[in-house]
Structure 1
Amino acid sequence: MPRVRRVRSEAFLTLALLNIFVLIAGFAALDVIEARPLPAVPHPVVNAEGAAAAEPASSSPADPERIAAVLDDPMAESGLAEGLSAFVADGATGAALYERSPDVPAIPASTTKIATAIAVLDVVGPDHVLTTTAHFDAERGMVVLRGAGDATLTTTVDPGAYPRVATLEELAEGVAAALAEEGVDTVSVGYDDSLFTGPDTGPSWKPGYITEGSTASVHALMHDSGRISRDTSVRVPDPPRATADEFAKRLKEAGLAVEGDPAEATAQGDPIASVDSPPMTALVEHMMLASDNNMAEALGRVAALETGGEGSFAGGAEATHRVMESYGIEDVELADNSGLSPENRITPRALVEMVRVAADRADLHAAVSGLPTSNSTGTLGNRYTEGTAVNDAAGLVRGKTGTLNDVSALAGTVHDAEGNMFVFAFVANSPGVQGFQLDPLAAALARCGCS
């Protein structure tokens, strides 16, 4: 499999170079939607000289006994003797280097999003966009807004954001221009949220997930991931209606008179205006960096609909299972695509295999380029920070985090003092576990001269 190994090596080399770039520049360029709600705001990486001085990969393979030796103490000191599982593999060859109950299914929390990322990229491709449309019902004089699952849809243009996201302002201006040609200056507003079906909260989701701001209820039509504003985690009770209300405001600003309040309606015929999301690569990177639960559920449904399934929790899970099976990845059993459901089960070995599969193929690379970086980006931006015992691994660890009550997980890549790249997964299903308890394990791999 020489080509596969070459592609994977190039992908991991790219990750290593990105790590070093973060260390030199002091900021992260991978926070792809910097101005969006609760973004993965980068923090400067400090005191990480080891990463900047990393040598090319050793010609000698890593020694599993040395890997076990460097992990023994931090595992013993973690306080997670029960419920801790792990798998570490060589990044270049995939050879197993460390195993601790690697095939025992565990609750993965948000590391589930690695599977979601691979599934949607595999099904629709990296350039696919989600198109929010506006339709005109001439008989009723109604403009109907139809959602397509773009949770990054927002209200107004932010000229500093990259990539540029779709806005209700731009859509309203397109509608106003189209209706002006028809001599229409007064409309009512309808909204169509019918693309997604089934329950709007996931299997065994706690009611607190929404009230505490972890997610909004799941809908095809929403803006800013259902938040009441870009700079808060508080969610609106009815995301489709809130988006329709904002759209009505933008139509007025665009010069149309709007009668009455928005009402549920069915979009019919061709759209008179539309706005596209950033490409799927950017959506996936945003989902991974910010651990955006609404984006994850939307992307699972996008994969399901593209393959003829239902745009529901069950449909998204089924589509993801099929993609995992197509890559020969076993032991992935999902009830949702965000990882909020405690019914999900994934083994550490499967998580490592997912990362390696994503590195094998250029069309799946967003699943690894979107991994947060320690003390720099996303959900690892406030971990491995200055003053902690693991700060020497700042910039060296790239991983998807996962956190629920009594669940913590970390899966991704790390390179050691000799430049070897390891792919790892640490999962703890233990009472009271906190995410930082897993950080010393990845840091131990970063310090290792394990050849």
Structure 2
Amino acid sequence: MTKPTAAEPRPDRVRHSVQAGVTRLRRSWPALLLTALLVVLMVPAALLVAPGFLGPELPAPPPPAPAWQQAPARLSPEAGLTPLSASASIPLASSVTAQVEPLLKADGGGTFTGLVQDALTGQVLFDRGGSDNRVPASNMKLLTAVAALRALGPERRFTTSVKSGPAAGQVVLVGGGDVLLAPGESNGEQVMGHAGLATLAVGTVEALKAAGTSGEIKVLVDDSLFTGPALNPVWAEGDVAAGEVAPVYPLALNSARYDPAVTTGPRPQDPAMTAAEEFAARLRTAAAAAGLTVAAAVERSPVPASASGEEPGKPAVLAEVESATVARQVDLMLQASDNYLAEVLGRMAAVAAGHAGSNDGATAAVRAQLADAGIPVDSIQLVDVCGLATGNQVSARHFADVVRAITTGTDGRLRAALDGFPVAGLSGTLDTRYRDDSTARGAGLVRAKTGTLNTVLALSGYVVDADGRLLVFSFIGNGLTPGAAGNRAALDRAATALAACGCR
């Protein structure tokens, strides 16, 4: 048997060494466990105490902002509608007719006529009796808008002034065509109420004080700018009683309304005197602080203020206020379909042309301005200029021609009427229409003047079709069943078809 070398441990010695190590480990186990426990407790304590020695912990950097919140490296191009292109395809007349024809059906009695044209070329794309004269209702206001913008100019304003009276102690309120006067202070941001009687009264008192006036002041009113019957005899008594219109004078409050927010019901029957009495009340308030009194009664001036003699030391004009521009008044007339304002603008167009400020002068002025604009008028019959009368006779072709003149004609003054066209589903007399599935595609796209009488409906305006082509249209229904809902829907669906048309 071989003996182990000195370098090799004997088995009994190995076993003894292992047993000794285990014994020592057992004896030291409580100390090791205590040490581990102390380490576990010291780590959190150190974390709590460390900031006191190291200072506050720096906040973590914020996450990067999303791309849409970061400053752009370059500016985006200016937003807006792209200009119309003359190269856009003109719709096929056969396709337009196929779209419009089945929609333009009367609900009950009566018939519709209509015309659709390409705005740039005048090419007729749909024609159903387009040259036949019809009762146009308030589409008449489109003709009046053209006449006013041409005869007066878009930037023209109407002046309401106070002048020295024909006798001492008298002042004359002179109507200059502004029927949108407010009783209070002027508000230059508004069309209705751009000029205010309270502002005019303050200016008048200042002028009277500067002239050394004392005693009682008497107010006269001069409304001689307009002549002839103030109430057109062709207007139905029921329409006048319902407040569709009022006697026409060259000055009035709120377009001859007691309250501008109430557009139905009774109206002043002498709007000029109503305005003069309100001015006298405002003058009385302003004059009290200056030691002046104002007589209660207001009378019409016996002679026009322009013919009144001037007292020594007194200016002819004591104070004046100006209306909103004709362009803004035309927009209001079209958006709200304001009969009273239309009649006044027609008379002012007549005065500007050197004619009488009467109904006959207004209708003659409208015809003359249309003819000068290149629109044939031989077959047109006009008995008022607001469209309330049923004796007016105008064709859909005439209205399409007028809309073409406004949108693409050579007379840039007429562009001022574009904002006045109500927008389908959004503004003016179209704000509550184009809401159902059959017309929703026209909402925001169709821009058109409405017309409504008992048996008459009309819609004339413009639209850009699906291919980017500008189209003008006029649809007129006469002899319709009063109140039949399908008739208005027929007009709106026909116009919507044009907006959605990719009719190539």
TM tier, smaller = 0.7 to 0.9
Helix, strand or coil at the partner of 2:149: helix
Q: Which of 91, 103, 112 lines up with 1:84 in the alignment?
A: 112
Q: Which of 263, 285, 295 lines up with 1:259 in the alignment?
A: 295
Helix, strand or coil at the partner of 2:113: strand
Deviation of residue 428 (structure 1)? 0.5
Deviation of residue 436 (structure 1)? 4.1
Matched, 1:244 2:276: yes
CA distance in 2, matches of 1:388, 1:375: 13
Query: Percent identity over the alignment?
Result: 36
Deviation of residue 208 (structure 1)? 2.1
CA distance in 2, matches of 1:342, 1:203: 12
Which residue pairs with 2:172 in the alignment?
144
What amino acid sits opposite 2:404 in the alignment? R
Deviation of residue 231 (structure 1)? 1.8
What amino acid sits opposite 2:281 in the alignment? K
Helix, strand or coil at the partner of 2:404: helix
CA distance in 1, matches of 2:125, 2:255: 40
Which residue pairs with 1:363 in the alignment?
413
Alpha carbons of structure 1 residues 53 and 123: separation in structure 2 relative to 1, 3 Å = closer
Query: Structure 1, residues 378-431: CA drift from partner, whole Å, max 9, x if none?
Result: 11112113x453122111110111111111111010122222211000000123
**Residues 89, 469 of structure 2: 8 Å contact kept:** no
Which residue pairs with 1:390 in the alignment?
439
Which residue pairs with 1:12 in the alignment?
none
Helix, strand or coil at the partner of 2:164: strand
Deviation of residue 260 (structure 1)? 2.5
Q: Where does structure 1 lack aligned partners over 5 or more consecutive residues?
A: 1-19, 22-51
Within 5 Å, which residues of 2 pair with 1:277-292?
A: 277-292=323-338
Q: Which of 216, 219, 240 lines up with 2:246 in the alignment?
A: 216
Matched, 1:373 2:423: yes
Within 5 Å, which residues of 2 pair with 1:214-363?
A: 214-233=244-263, 234=265, 235-255=267-287, 256-265=292-301, 266=303, 267=305, 268=308, 270-330=316-376, 331-359=379-407, 360=409, 361-363=411-413
What amino acid sits opposite 1:425 in the alignment? S
**Residues 188, 195 of structure 2: 8 Å contact kept:** no
Q: Where does structure 2 lack aligned partners over 5 or more consecutive residues?
A: 1-78, 310-315
CA distance in 1, matches of 2:489, 2:274: 36
Alpha carbons of structure 1 residues 225 and 122: separation in structure 2 relative to 1, 3 Å = same
Highest RCO, 1 vs 2 (Cα 8 Å, sep ≥ 6):
1
CA distance in 2, matches of 1:80, 1:122: 40
Matched, 1:68 2:114: no
**Residues 133, 271 of structure 1: 8 Å contact kept:** yes
**Residues 406, 432 of structure 1: 8 Å contact kept:** yes
Aligned residues: CA RMSD: 2.2
Alpha carbons of structure 1 residues 59 and 138: separation in structure 2 relative to 1, 3 Å = closer
Deviation of residue 161 (structure 1)? 3.7
Q: Which of 197, 211, 219 lines up with 2:227 in the alignment?
A: 197
What amino acid sits opposite 2:401 in the alignment? E
CA distance in 1, matches of 2:93, 2:294: 68
Deviation of residue 371 (structure 1)? 0.8
Matched, 1:443 2:496: yes
CA distance in 1, matches of 2:134, 2:268: 32
Matched, 1:408 2:408: no
Helix, strand or coil at the partner of 1:297: helix
**Residues 150, 295 of structure 1: 8 Å contact kept:** no
CA distance in 2, matches of 1:294, 1:373: 22
Deviates more, 1:364-373 or 1:295-304: 364-373
Helix, strand or coil at the partner of 1:365: helix
Matched, 1:95 2:148: no
CA distance in 2, matches of 1:189, 1:221: 15
Query: Structure 1, residues 332-387: CA drift from partner, whole Å, max 9, x if none?
Result: 321111111111111100101111112222211122221111111111112113x4
Query: Structure 1, residues 280-301: CA drift from partner, whole Å, max 9, x if none?
Result: 1111111111111111111111
Deviation of residue 88 (structure 1)? 0.3
**Residues 358, 368 of structure 1: 8 Å contact kept:** yes
CA distance in 2, matches of 1:388, 1:132: 49
What amino acid sits opposite 1:257 in the alignment? T
**Residues 127, 280 of structure 1: 8 Å contact kept:** yes
Helix, strand or coil at the partner of 1:296: helix
**Residues 301, 311 of structure 1: 8 Å contact kept:** yes
**Residues 55, 417 of structure 1: 8 Å contact kept:** no
Deviates more, 1:180-189 or 1:300-309: 180-189
CA distance in 1, matches of 2:109, 2:92: 24
